[in-house]
Structure 1
Amino acid sequence: MTHEHAFSLHVPDLVFGRGALAEVGEHARALGLTRVLLVTDRTLRPLAPVTRVETALRDAGIEVILHDFVAIEPTESAIDRAGAAGQIHGIDGFISVGGGSSIDTAKGANLLVSRGGRIADFLPPPLGAGRTLGGGPLLPHIACPTTFGTAAETTGIVAFALDHGRGKTTLTGAPLRPSLGLLDPTALLTLPPMVLAANAFDLLSHAIESETARPFESRPAPADPARRPVTQGANPFASLGCREAIRLVAGALGPALDDPTDIESREQLMRAGLLAGTVFGMSGNHLPHALSYPISTLAHRWTAPDYPDDHPFLPHGLSVALAAPAVFRHLERRLPDRFAPVARALATDSVADALIALMRRAGLPNGLTAIGLSDEHHPALVEGALAQRRLIDNAPLTPTAADLAAILADARRYWS
């Protein structure tokens, strides 16, 4: 077998800085947009980031069709609904304002408007019909994040829940990547404490997983170098962004939680998200995210503080945070050299212990038992994680079912 010898980096154009959202009208006009679907959620709809974007678009002479039906965690049916709205109104582009939910919903809807069909059509069997994304571009999409953890504005990944409680999945491909991302740190001033903390832990885990993922050169060489996969494994370029992102979050999270008006710490967090997001899309995630999907699916009786309380659900960042310390403790013992740079960035001797201290500082749930998951859930969690082959195969060590069971046992409770 011939092994890979190179890695590729593809990110959208990005604009970073205070006031960047006010530029959206000029950027949309430069992309030739005349009628756009503005995708957001009803919680954000009356807040400053959405009104600022909508006003800037209308001032630029662009017709805005508002679609504020995004689910807090994207769902199959919500993406289909947004796609149908885009088709009905004959739009020529998308503007998403919000966190990963809004941006991923717009990515999926863009695929449906551009290619036709439903989102399940593009999932592999047995989940869907196995349609390919196609190689041509989709409609222009400007992503305006109001969070910093998902990095959805930089990636060609759509994460969403399947209908009828069938779990979570991802759709991946270069055409899904937004055309432009506008990162404005002032948008983070709208985040309540638990939402900010969930973003921080999603970002931290992105960076640590990307830094410690399976090395790119251990993979088989692609048959066609022009068609390398979106996620390719750890590489030296990604390490630069990951390590700095970890350092920035570790320093900024406390001040941001202490002072809801501290724009400097929020700018630091968004900068960390930009760094990690730019590289994690090429390196990929692994075990914490593989476990997070079944954790989110089974934790259906817990309601997160600071999130809409119309139905119980576990936000993505928290599901990742609950798995991460146990995963990293398991791997750090076996691969100390791979985790040494992470420990240095966190200024600690133990990556797991540093994350647990940050969890306590941020008021996160104390392990799986705190969200209602007991040992009887562990077999289903193991099965659900092993089904995430893209993530399992990107781990630095391929876990067995027994490995995952031991990790879950460690994740029951992190402090007394």
Structure 2
Amino acid sequence: MPTGIRISPTRAARAVNLLRAVQFTHPPSCPCHSNPNHHHGPSTIHQAARTLATPIDTTQQKEYAFEMAASSIRFGPGCTKEVGMDFKNLGSKKVMVVTDSTVRKLNAMKQVVEGLEREGVPFEVFDQVRVEPKDSSIKVAIEAGKRYKPDAFLAVGGGSVIDTAKLMNLYTTFPDADFLDFVNAPLGRGLPIPSKLFPLIAVPTTAGTGSETTGTAIFDLVSKRAKTGIAHRNLKPTLGIVDPLNTRTMPSAVHASSGLDVLCHSLESWTAIPYYERTPRPTNPINRPAYQGANPISDIFSLQALKDTVKYLPRAVKDPDDHEAQSKMLLAATLAGVGFGNAGVHLCHGMSYPISGQNPGYKHAGYDVDHAIVPHGVSVAVTAPAVFKFTGASNPERHLAAAECFGVDVSNVKRESAGEVLGEALAEFLVRLGDQPRGLKALGFGREHVDQLVEGTIPQARVLMLAPSLDMQNVEAEREQLGRLFEESMEY
């Protein structure tokens, strides 16, 4: 008899029934059966059942598994003061505290410094992080890390600070690596991070990026006029300290733009292609990307974050003393971080990178910086109405479920109208939120910039590969689709 595991018909039936109970979609109907245009291969149930009965066939190209990875999270008002004990528990002897010049003056930094001093943990502060970092500012920070030679890192600030600290940690751990070694391909070499890094604790002071949960760090690669970054599970913080008291100093404009990042994180990860449609399947699990496609676990986090953002972001923007709304938005940012940190984002983010990198001179009101800036949340949201109108046909059920989160009655909406309905709901939400640029024209872009924006989007293969409806097999068709999306995003 051949060796190997035999599965009885009874056990196989039980396994298939269990898989049916957690099958990939919301509402319950399977998009493989209810929407034949959505997938090109067998459903996850059929694939999983076949996997149970046969050994792994590495010649198949489509993915068959997903991994869940997220930082440990501590949530609660006042928990920042515990950070000194955390580093003492880790046995840390030299902590590099990473922040920016604005956050350094805030209570969050006061709590951090007092906590470290109380526990007798030696530290040094680097406060030169740039908001929306460029490769040049990242390199300055890395050199500071290499000089100090810490055995742990502490990031206190928004996504720019946390992302910078992640890269300081990476290149301090691997000081001989070339800067482009780990940068996402095709702009960099896209090498996997081969081992764990030094401990990193992240203390977010904005409710948006979810960077405290993810293995992703984003920056501007100036020579290519595009945003890129590094993404790998080993980059994620050891612990995220999510303290609602730390977001009470956020200006209304920062609440709004960071909340829009949460909105798009949740929508994009909810509507990304399913993990089992992603290609190619990795030949070694170390090469399985952090952004894997939507999956049954990320769905839970993404959909809840979307519901909370729609409910609480307008309140948080309108009333700086609405501490319940602020706390709920901070938690929503973390939930969305877990969701997109494993499922990934797609078109809004892929298109946002050249929008920020090619900014013609726009400076968003409410940001205390001395340079032109399109805040990240603004750059992702400005294309959202056009994007989700475009992706609606890929999975009408998911787009209608998202529209319901905005209060839309979808009971009589036709499936072919799902994208249009969600796009309209998004546009109305953005208008009601107030003080948001209503399209790329308001940022200073015109139709003469479209080709350049498209060329800045094409290299974002890491996220574009998760975009439903986008034809990445034909680069000219892809350029045409992206061009239409930028044109439709000129105003809404």
> Is TM > 0.5 for Structure 1 vs Structure 2?
yes
Q: Report whether the alignment pairs 1:119 with 2:179.
A: yes
Secondary structure (helix, strand or coil) at the match of 1:301 reads coil
Which digits, 9 at most, give the CA deviation of each residue in 1:102-155, with x for residues without a partner? 000000010111101453343367745x37354221111000001121111111
- For residues 39-50 of structure 1, what are the structure 2 equivalents within 5 Å? 39-50=98-109
Q: Which amino acid aligns with 2:136?
A: S
1:330 to 371, 375, 390: 390
Q: CA, structure 1 residues 204+131, in 2 after alignment: closer, same or farther (shift >3 Å)?
A: closer
Q: CA, structure 1 residues 305+33, in 2 after alignment: closer, same or farther (shift >3 Å)?
A: same
Q: Report whether the alignment pairs 1:95 with 2:154.
A: yes
Residue 446 of structure 2 corresponds to 374
User: Hey, what's the Cα distance between the residues in 2 that align with 1:175 and 1:320?
Assistant: 26
2:426 to 348, 355, 359: 355
User: Hey, what's the Cα distance between the residues in 1 that align with 2:350 and 2:127?
Assistant: 29
Q: CA, structure 1 residues 124+14, in 2 after alignment: closer, same or farther (shift >3 Å)?
A: closer
Instruction: Report how far residue 335 of structure 1 moved.
Output: 3.5
Secondary structure (helix, strand or coil) at the match of 1:307 reads coil
Secondary structure (helix, strand or coil) at the match of 1:153 reads coil
User: Hey, what's the Cα distance between the residues in 1 that align with 2:174 and 2:314?
Assistant: 45
Instruction: Report how far residue 8 of structure 1 moved.
Output: 1.0
Residue 384 of structure 1 corresponds to 456
Moved more, 100-109 or 110-119: 110-119
Q: Report whether the alignment pairs 1:28 with 2:28.
A: no
User: Hey, what's the Cα distance between the residues in 2 that align with 1:376 and 1:135?
Assistant: 43
User: Hey, what's the Cα distance between the residues in 2 that align with 1:126 and 1:353?
Assistant: 34
- For residues 394-409 of structure 1, what are the structure 2 equivalents within 5 Å? 394-399=466-471, 400-409=478-487
Q: Which amino acid aligns with 1:249?
A: T
Q: CA, structure 1 residues 213+127, in 2 after alignment: closer, same or farther (shift >3 Å)?
A: closer
Residue 210 of structure 1 corresponds to 269
User: Hey, what's the Cα distance between the residues in 2 that align with 1:284 and 1:392?
Assistant: 10
Moved more, 226-235 or 175-184: 226-235
Which digits, 9 at most, give the CA deviation of each residue in 1:254-290, with x for residues without a partner? 2112211211001111111121111211100100111
Q: Which amino acid aligns with 2:449?
A: H
Moved more, 245-254 or 76-85: 76-85
Secondary structure (helix, strand or coil) at the match of 2:105 reads coil
Residue 216 of structure 2 corresponds to 157
The answer to whether the 8 Å contact 1:162/1:169 transfers is yes
User: Hey, what's the Cα distance between the residues in 2 that align with 1:333 and 1:7?
Assistant: 25
Residue 240 of structure 1 corresponds to 300
User: Hey, what's the Cα distance between the residues in 2 that align with 1:145 and 1:354?
Assistant: 30
Q: CA, structure 1 residues 288+207, in 2 after alignment: closer, same or farther (shift >3 Å)?
A: same
2:203 to 129, 144, 162: 144
Instruction: Report how far residue 309 of structure 1 moved.
Output: 3.6
Which digits, 9 at most, give the CA deviation of each residue in 1:151-194, with x for residues without a partner? 11111111001134632111111221111100001111111111
- For residues 285-300 of structure 1, what are the structure 2 equivalents within 5 Å? 285-300=345-360
Instruction: Report how far residue 346 of structure 1 moved.
Output: 2.1
Secondary structure (helix, strand or coil) at the match of 1:45 reads helix
Secondary structure (helix, strand or coil) at the match of 2:321 reads coil
User: Hey, what's the Cα distance between the residues in 2 that align with 1:277 and 1:123?
Assistant: 20
User: Hey, what's the Cα distance between the residues in 1 that align with 2:186 and 2:296?
Assistant: 36
User: Hey, what's the Cα distance between the residues in 2 that align with 1:165 and 1:387?
Assistant: 10
- For residues 214-225 of structure 1, what are the structure 2 equivalents within 5 Å? 214-220=273-279, 221-225=281-285
Secondary structure (helix, strand or coil) at the match of 1:62 reads coil
Instruction: Report how far residue 226 of structure 1 moved.
Output: 5.8
User: Hey, what's the Cα distance between the residues in 2 that align with 1:262 and 1:114?
Assistant: 42
User: Hey, what's the Cα distance between the residues in 1 that align with 2:190 and 2:329?
Assistant: 37
- For residues 59-208 of structure 1, what are the structure 2 equivalents within 5 Å? 59-117=118-176, 119-123=179-183, 127-128=187-188, 130=189, 132-164=191-223, 166-208=225-267
Q: Which amino acid aligns with 1:356?
A: A
Aligned residues: 413
Instruction: Report how far residue 369 of structure 1 moved.
Output: 0.3
Secondary structure (helix, strand or coil) at the match of 1:181 reads strand
1:339 to 381, 389, 399: 399
Which digits, 9 at most, give the CA deviation of each residue in 1:335-376, with x for residues without a partner? 322312211222225222222222222311111000100000
User: Hey, what's the Cα distance between the residues in 2 that align with 1:131 and 1:32?
Assistant: 32
The answer to whether the 8 Å contact 2:265/2:345 transfers is yes
Identity of matched residues, %? 37
The answer to whether the 8 Å contact 1:207/1:242 transfers is yes
Instruction: Report how far residue 68 of structure 1 moved.
Output: 0.5
Which digits, 9 at most, give the CA deviation of each residue in 1:355-411, with x for residues without a partner? 222222231111100010000000111111122111111111224222212211221
Residue 38 of structure 1 corresponds to 97
Q: TM-score, normalised by structure 2?
A: 0.81
The answer to whether the 8 Å contact 1:285/1:391 transfers is yes
Q: CA, structure 1 residues 77+121, in 2 after alignment: closer, same or farther (shift >3 Å)?
A: farther
The answer to whether the 8 Å contact 2:97/2:123 transfers is yes
The answer to whether the 8 Å contact 2:213/2:237 transfers is yes
Residue segments in structure 2 that go unaligned for 5+ positions in a row: 1-59, 411-420, 472-477
2:368 to 304, 308, 312: 308
The answer to whether the 8 Å contact 1:243/1:341 transfers is no
Q: CA, structure 1 residues 58+259, in 2 after alignment: closer, same or farther (shift >3 Å)?
A: same
